[in-house]
Amino acid sequence: MMPVVLWTDVPVWLLVAITLGYFAYVRRHEHLAAPWRRVARSAPGMVALVVLLAFAAVGLVDSLHFRPALEGKDQKGGTVYAVEVLSLLDVAVMPLKTRTERTYSRRSPSARSRRRRPSWRVGASCASSRACASAGRT
């Protein structure tokens, strides 16, 4: 596994570092910590924190990228890495990517044998579809 840093990951982790620095600063200053304690004691504040942390966790797991190692070696005996860059979230939900989805919109074999014709055709010169069918036009 070879770590890869994408340019889009840098601002995300920079935002995490700034947030952690802000809260370290707030802990040392009582006048800034008091409002955050009130938020932590309120039920809506804690619900919002849980939702925010859940979204942040998914975003951070999706911003850790790597290229998986392939089986085999190069000419010098070194490790060969895949071209595709994956994130940890990609690996966690890999069954969703590799599994084929069953569709229920296919017609049944008995329905396929009965061929339905439209009751009208755009641009047809016949008055009805039965008249067109009897005239040999389909």
125 occurs within a structural domain: no
pLDDT tens digits along 19-51: 999 999 999 999 999 999 999 999 999 999 999
CA distances from 111 to 64, 94, 107, 128, 138 (A): 49, 36, 6, 24, 20
Distance CA 76, CA 131 (A): 76
Q: Domain containing 44: what range?
A: 2-98
122 occurs within a structural domain: no
19 occurs within a structural domain: yes
* Closest C-alpha among 2, 4, 12, 17 to residue 59: 12
131 occurs within a structural domain: no
pLDDT tens digits along 65-112: 999 988 888 878 888 888 999 999 999 998 888 887 777 776 666 655
112 occurs within a structural domain: no
41 occurs within a structural domain: yes
pTM of the predicted structure, to 2 decimals: 0.62
